[in-house]
Amino acid sequence: MEKLNIMIVGVGGQGTLLASKVLGNVALKMGYDVKASEVHGMAQRGGSVVTYVKFGKKVYSPLIEKGEADLILGFEQLESLRWIEYLKEGGRMLINEQKINPMPVIIGKAKYPENIIEKIKDNYSNIITIDALKIARECGNIKTVNIVLLGLMAKSIDINKDVWIEVIKETVPQKLLEINLKAFEMGYNY
């Protein structure tokens, strides 16, 4: 791998930070130079959040810009649509089918766009969608949505699965490890 630009987008509170933390440490274990840029603070309160993870031989800017992302992991439909211009030509997007209404929609001042996934699929070739909430529920805890999605993403990145599992073990608290590993597998084998 020469260089990989990955974006994780979603809604504050969905657990995107954990996913990027694991990804960053996987890249570090593989000996790459890594930079990741996160959003903390205000936007965390249910706002639109984005994390950039870049790795390769040498990384300068921590930001990924429009048209530069090899892979985008979208935790929510509208957020996937919002950030799609960051996708490189031919880049891959993984979309969780979950929908969360933003405030302008809740109060009736805007409309949640219809058929987002179909529209994206009609125009982009490399799209994978998943109902991660359903899988997390099957797995036994709906809070593992982020790990299911992490598993799905891992499958798209050419790094040995064992490295991912090793990093999850180092990151997740012991008592939640088993369920998280299960969620990871379910995403990976999706």
Partner 1 sequence: MRKLMLGNEAVARGAYEAGVTVAAAYPGTPSTEITEYIAKYDEIYSEWSPNEKVSMEVAIGASIAGARAICSMKHVGLNVAADPLFTVSYTGVNGGLVIMVADDPGMHSSQNEQDSRFYARSSKVPMLEPSDSQECKDFVKEAFEISEKFDCPVIVRLTTRIAHSQSVVELGEKVDFTLKEYKKNFEKYVMMPAMARKRHVEVERRMAELRDFSNNTSLNRIEWGSKDVGIITSGIAYQYAREAFGDASYLKIGMVHPIPEKLIADFAKEIKTLYVIEELEPFIENQIKKMGIKVIGKELLPVIGEFSSQLIKEKILNVKTEIKVPINEIVPVRPPVMCPGCPHRGLYHVLKKLKLVVSGDIGCYTLGALPPAESMDTCICMGASVSGAHGMEKARGKDFAKKTVAVIGDSTFMHSGITGLIDIVYNKGVSTTIILDNSITGMTGHQHNPTTGYTIKGEPTRKVDMVKLAHAVGVERVRVEDPFDIKAFEKAVKEEIEAEEPSVIIALRPCALLKGVSYEGAQVIRKDRCKMCKLCLSIGCPAIVDKGDCIEINEALCIGCKLCSRLCNFNAIEKAGV
Which residues here bind partner 1, judged by CB under 8 A?
11-13, 24-25, 28, 33-48, 59-63, 65-67, 78-79, 81-82, 84-85, 98, 100-113, 116, 119-120, 123, 133, 142
Cβ proximity to partner 1: between 40 and 175 the closer is 40
Q: Which is nearer to partner 1, 58 or 189 (CB)?
A: 58
Q: How many CB atoms lie within 10 A of CB 116?
A: 21
Closer of 27 and 189 to partner 1 (Cβ): 27
Three-class DSSP category at 136: helix
| Integer Cα distance of 25 and 59 in angstroms | 15
In the complex, the smallest distance separating the C-beta of residue 158 from partner 1, rounded to whole angstroms, is 20
3-state SS class at 33? strand
State the minimum distance, in angstroms, from the CB of residue 108 to partner 1.
7
Q: Which is nearer to partner 1, 17 or 153 (CB)?
A: 17
Kindly state the smallest distance separating residue 144's Cβ from partner 1, in Å. 12
CA distances from 143 to 25, 65, 140, 147 (A): 21, 30, 9, 9
Instruction: Check if the beta carbon of residue 44 is closer than 8 Å to that of residue 172.
Output: no
List residues bridging with 19 in a β-sheet: none
Backbone angles phi, psi at 141, to 5 degrees: -160, 115
Nearer to partner 1, 62 or 140 (CB): 62
